[in-house]
Every structure is written in structure tokens, then in C-alpha cells.
């Protein structure tokens, strides 16, 4: 087996050394434009993000709500292509000290070339890539290519998965297992069923020692604090995309940074234990 790249090892080390939930910040490559997106990702790190997710813009993002979908559309309309994704990752990893993971849809990877995608990600300094719409039964070529490139393959664990499916998902995972805090597209701002999330993460903990990373539905710092006791990290995307989408220039970036600071504070401030039914 190919050794893990230094970037992949750094992602593993991040979770091994942390006692509280880490903060991940997501942004599509090329949004709000190529240079502004790179500066935003760097600024997210300066203001509290512990790791980054860079999205590969996609025309039909089935897992995403209106904000991230609109950001993908804007990036594609400005000419963002896969080369910009790798350049974004390379420029961010060379100027920050946090791990970066790509988030891509399967057709984008297939169109580019599976082995080429894995190899170019590794060369750009990415720690891995999560492909949430890739059925596990079809994931063999991607898992092989990622292992050969030395990068992680985080896996999306849908809330509908039974115990047998969870074992298969966690066996295929490296880096982390992604736990949706809500069974909804990204950008969901409704209430979270914390007892159900607790039960689900308990089932996962019985199956795997991989870190659990929550996303989808973590719409406020208060919700991040509620979710934090159950997971190793929380990823936010829509709360950062929204101000950049609706307010141009420095004011939009400052709005996104206010969100990063607030979420980072919520995760790093000890909270009262969640009250759950016995």
C-alpha cells in the first residue's frame, strides 16, 4: 500500500490531538471568483477554521440546497474548471497549515478521470476527497486510486443506513465518516432531532474508530454547540456561502468571517451536556 501523503497524515493528526470538536469550513472553488475564493479560504483559517473543504462545482448538486447550488452555478458561469480546483487547493495548502479535503460529485470525477483526479489531488496537497453520491457498490475504482495516491476517502453515512450498510461504509472510509445532522439538503435551517443524532452516532461509534464529522443542518453556532458532544468535528458551508452570495466585496467576506468566528467560539467554549431522554 502506498504510504499516506503528509497532507493525509496531517488530517489524521488533527483529530488525534483534539479534545473538542474541530471546525471545518466549506467553500466551492472559484466562488465568489477564483482569487476571492482563495483569499476567503485563507481568511477562514486565520479566523478559526481547523480544516477546509473545497467543493468541485457541479451543475446538478443533488445533496445541496439553494445557496451552495447558486454558488456552484456562479463559479461555473465564471469559467471554473477542475484545473481551478487543484490550483485553489495548491495555493491554500501552501499558505496555511490546515488540512484541505475536496468535495466532489461522482460524474465530475469520472469525467475528469478517476486515477488522474486522485493523483492530481495528492499533488495539489489535498488530504483526500469525499464523494457523497458514489454508491459503495461502485466505489472500488475510486478507493483503489485514492489508496494508490496516498489520500483519504471520507465516506457519507446516510441516516437511513442499517447496521450492515454502516459496517460497509465505515470499512471503506478513511479520514472520517460524515454524519448528516439532518436528513436534508445542505442549507437546512430547521430544528435538529438531537436524540436521534445521538442514537445514530452511538451506532457508528460501535462500528468504527474513525472520526465522525457532522454537517447539513448546523445552521447556527448554537446548533454547532448542540451537535459537538456527539462528533469530532462540524463542517459549515451554507452559513459561509450565503453572505458571499448576497453581498459583494469586502462586506460579504466580513459577513462570512463573522460566521467563522462565531462557530469557532461555540465549538471551543465548554457547553452544558445535552439533555437527552433516558
Residues in the chain: 278
- In whole angstroms, give the CA distance from residue 134 to residue 114: 12
Q: What is the pLDDT of residue 277?
A: 41
Q: For residue 108, is it left (φ>0), alpha (ψ between -120 and 50) or beta?
A: alpha
Asked if 223 and 265 count as a contact pair (C-beta separation under 8 A), the reply is: no
Please report the domains of the chain, with CATH numbers, ordered by start residue: 21-268 (3.20.20.70)
Q: How confident is the model at residue 269 (pLDDT cuts 50, 70, 90)?
A: confident
Q: What is the mean pLDDT of residues 119-130?
A: 98
Cell of 193: 432531532
Residue 73 makes CB contacts below 8 A (sequence gap 6+) with 57, 59
39 vs 2 pLDDT, higher one: 39
Point out the residues that are catalytic: 53, 64
Global pTM reads: 0.94
Q: What is the pLDDT of residue 223?
A: 96
Query: What is the tens place of the pLDDT at every residue in 144-203?
Result: 999 999 999 999 999 899 999 999 999 999 999 999 999 988 989 999 999 999 999 999
For residue 190, what is the enclosing H or E element? Answer: none
What is the Rg, in whole angstroms, of the alpha carbon atoms belonging to the chain? 17
Q: What is the pLDDT of residue 273?
A: 46
Asked if 179 and 216 count as a contact pair (C-beta separation under 8 A), the reply is: no
Query: What is the tens place of the pLDDT at every residue in 213-256?
Result: 999 999 999 999 999 999 999 999 999 999 999 998 899 999 99
Cell 462545482, located at residue: 57
pLDDT at 276 over 50: no
Give the full edge-to-edge strand order of the sheet including 233-236.
128-130, 100-103, 51-55, 22-28, 233-236, 212-215, 177-180, 155-156
- In whole angstroms, give the CA distance from residue 101 to residue 174: 12
278 vs 8 pLDDT, higher one: 8
Cell 488530517, located at residue: 11
Q: What is the pLDDT of residue 278?
A: 38
Q: How far is CA 148 from CA 85, 117, 120, 134, in A?
A: 21, 12, 12, 19
Asked if 32 and 245 count as a contact pair (C-beta separation under 8 A), the reply is: yes
Amino acid at each position: 500500500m502506498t504510504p499516506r501523503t503528509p497532507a493525509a497524515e496531517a488530517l489524521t493528526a488533527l483529530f488525534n490531538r483534539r479534545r473538542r470538536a474541530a471546525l471545518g469550513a466549506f467553500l466551492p472553488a472559484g466562488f465568489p471568483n477564483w482569487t476571492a475564493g482563495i483569499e476567503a479560504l485563507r481568511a477562514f483559517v486565520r479566523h478559526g477554521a481547523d480544516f477546509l473543504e473545497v467543493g468541485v462545482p457541479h451543475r446538478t448538486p443533488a445533496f445541496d440546497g439553494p445557496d451552495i447550488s447558486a454558488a456552484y452555478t456562479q463559479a461555473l458561469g465564471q469559467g471554473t474548471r477542475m484545473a481551478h480546483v487543484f490550483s485553489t487547493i495548491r495555493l491554500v495548502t501552501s499558505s496555511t497549515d490546515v488540512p484541505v479535503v475536496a468535495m466532489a460529485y461522482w460524474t465530475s470525477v469520472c469525467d475528469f478521470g478517476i486515477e488522474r483526479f486522485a493523483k492530481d489531488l495528492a499533488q495539489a496537497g489535498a488530504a483526500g476527497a469525499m464523494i457523497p453520491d458514489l454508491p459503495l457498490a461502485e466505489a472500488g475504482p475510486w478507493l483503489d486510486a485514492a489508496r494508490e495516491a496516498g489520500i483519504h476517502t471520507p465516506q457519507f453515512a446516510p441516516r437511513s443506513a442499517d447496521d450492515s450498510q454502516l459496517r460497509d461504509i465505515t470499512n471503506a472510509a478513511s479520514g472520517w465518516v460524515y454524519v448528516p445532522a439532518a436528513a436534508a439538503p445542505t442549507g437546512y435551517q430547521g430544528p435538529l432531532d438531537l436524540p436521534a443524532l445521538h442514537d445514530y452516532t452511538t451506532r457508528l461509534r460501535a462500528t468504527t474508530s474513525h472520526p465522525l464529522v457532522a454537517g447539513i443542518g448546523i445552521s447556527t453556532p448554537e446548533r454547532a454547540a448542540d451537535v459537538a458532544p456527539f462528533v469530532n468535528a462540524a463542517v459549515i458551508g451554507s452559513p459561509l456561502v450565503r453572505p458571499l452570495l448576497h453581498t459583494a466585496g469586502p462586506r460579504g467576506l466580513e459577513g462570512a468571517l463573522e460566521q467563522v468566528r462565531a462557530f469557532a467560539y461555540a465549538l471551543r467554549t465548554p457547553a452544558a451536556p445535552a439533555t437527552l431522554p433516558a
